[in-house]
Amino acid sequence: MSDDKLGLGVASNRTGAAEVAAGIGDVGDLMVYAYAMEAEAAERYAEFADAMETHNNLEVAELFRKLSRIEHIHAQQIVESMNWNEPPPPPPGGFRWLGLEGPESGDHADLHYLMQPYHALQIALSNEQGAQLFYAAVAREASDEKVRAGAAEMAAEEEEHVSLIQQWLERTAKPEPGWSRDDDPPMLGD
């Protein structure tokens, strides 16, 4: 669980924002990005839930499952609002994110088999912050006025997600020191 992850994200955000925005020429492009972000996040949370289930960490598995459902609904809402018959293909040349992948997706390296809901929510928080930064960068840098306006709206929405997760974190028990110590460690090669 690296606390500096977001800091690094901000740094790469500064260097890549103009290039990212250049790939988003109209509102249709913006929605393709938005869809990809939500869909990738939904998929990633589902993978996290599977991983936690494998380690019998059912409480966190359920939390990731819930987050996956939320992102899936977001993705479906975009498909419906755009009247797409099916999810859009990636733009020619592929997506240009600020990092290597969609900013709303967590990193497998952040998982720990003994992690607690609090940790899972920290991942979610950093994902929502990443999404907010992405849209804010597009709102700032895009050449098309409607893209800038749409991205600003979505940045505001992501900011709401950020505060929702922050409230959720406040209601969630903080892990005790030593939370990652296993009193009954799995067998090697397990």
Residues forming the site for Zn ion (CB under 5 A): 128, 131, 158, 161
Least distance (Å) from Zn ion to the CB of residue 148? Answer: 19
Nearer CB in complex with Zn ion: 148/161: 161
Nearer CB in complex with Zn ion: 41/61: 41
Q: Which residue is nearest to Zn ion (CB)?
A: 161
Least distance (Å) from Zn ion to the CB of residue 163? Answer: 11
Nearer CB in complex with Zn ion: 82/112: 82
Torsion of CA 177, 180, 182, 186, to 10 degrees: 180
Question: Which tokens is 150 given?
Answer: 């749409």
Q: Residue 108 has what DSSP assignment?
A: G
Least distance (Å) from Zn ion to the CB of residue 41? Answer: 8
Ordered alpha helix ranges (H), the chain: 5-22, 27-54, 58-81, 117-141, 145-170
Residues 6 or more apart whose CB falls under 8 angstroms from that of 168 comprise 121
Nearer CB in complex with Zn ion: 65/161: 161
